[in-house]
Amino acid sequence: MEGNFLPNIDYGFAISRGVRILSISPVFAEPVAEAALGMALDLARGISRSDRYFRQGSEKYGLDANRKAYSLHRQHLGFIGFGDLGRAIVPLLAPFHPTIKAYDPWLPPEYIESMGCQAATLQEVLTSSKIVFVVAGVTAQNQGMLNREAFLSMPAGAALVLVSRAAVVDFEAMLDVAATGHIRVATDVFPQEPLPLEHRARRGDNLLLSPHQAGALEQTLAQIGVMVTADAELIARGLPPCLCKIAQPETVTLWRSKPVEQS
Domain of residue 77, CATH code: 3.40.50.720
Q: In whole angstroms, give the CA distance from residue 253 to residue 112.
A: 24
Helix (H) or strand (E) holding 93: helix 84-93
Residue 68 lies in a domain: no
Instruction: Specify the pLDDT at position 260.
Output: 55
Residue 257 lies in a domain: yes
Evaluate whether 177 touches 148 at the Cβ level (below 8 Å): yes
Grade residue 65 by pLDDT with cuts at 50, 70 and 90: very high
Grade residue 108 by pLDDT with cuts at 50, 70 and 90: very high
Task: State the average pLDDT over residues 156-182.
Answer: 97
Residue 51 lies in a domain: yes
Residue 64 lies in a domain: no
CB neighbours of residue 263 within 10 Å? 8
Task: Please count the structural domains in the chain.
Answer: 1
Which domain, by its residues, includes 48?
A: 1-57+73-263
Instruction: Tell me the pLDDT tens digit for each residue of 130-153.
Output: 999 999 999 999 999 999 999 999
Residue 163 lies in a domain: yes
Residue 166 lies in a domain: yes
Residue 66 lies in a domain: no
Evaluate whether 206 touches 181 at the Cβ level (below 8 Å): yes
Q: In whole angstroms, give the CA distance from residue 255 to residue 240.
A: 23
Evaluate whether 82 touches 112 at the Cβ level (below 8 Å): yes
Residue 14 lies in a domain: yes
Instruction: Specify the pLDDT at position 259.
Output: 65
CA angle centred on 254, ends 248 and 256, rounded to 5°? 120
Instruction: Tell me the pLDDT tens digit for each residue of 25-44.
Output: 999 999 999 999 999 999 99
Instruction: Specify the pLDDT at position 262.
Output: 46
